């Protein structure tokens, strides 16, 4: 009886940790990578493994431009900070 209980507990734990039980399908990333290997210009290329379906990124050009403009305005208004910023730039 103890053995039957032990086996039942092991089976329950297996089901608990089984990814498919919660709806996660485990695919072999290796198989996907093998399918995308290309030999081009004396080197191999492999596509990056993106999540499917991956969300479309929103266009954030305007937001970035406003932040850059704001940064320039702040630097212009504080000459010592501007000088420090210019000295830290990598040429």
Question: Any idea what DSSP says for residue 39?
Answer: E
Strand ranges (E), 1-91: 38-40, 43-45
Span 47-71, pLDDT tens digits: 887 777 777 888 999 999 999 999 9
Q: What element of type H or E holds 35?
A: helix 29-35
Residues of 1-15 as b/e, b for ≥16 C-beta within 10 angstroms? eeeeeeeeeeeeeee
- Asked if the structure places residue 65 within a domain, the reply is yes
- Which residue range is the domain that position 74 belongs to? 24-88
- Asked if the structure places residue 30 within a domain, the reply is yes
- Asked if the structure places residue 4 within a domain, the reply is no
Question: Any idea what DSSP says for residue 23?
Answer: T
- Please count the structural domains in the chain: 1
Q: How many residues belong to the chain? A: 91
In the predicted model, what is the mean pLDDT of the chain? Answer: 80
């Amino acid at each position: 009886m103890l053995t039957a209980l032990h086996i039942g507990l092991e089976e329950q734990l297996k089901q608990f940790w089984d990814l498919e039980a919660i709806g996660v399908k485990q695919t072999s990333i290796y198989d996907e990578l093998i399918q995308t290997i290309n030999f081009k210009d004396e080197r191999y290329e492999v596509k990056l493994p993106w999540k499917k379906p991956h969300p479309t990124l929103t266009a954030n050009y305007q937001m970035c431009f406003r932040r850059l403009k704001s940064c320039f305005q702040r630097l212009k208004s504080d000459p010592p900070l501007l000088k420090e910023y210019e000295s830290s730039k990598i040429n």
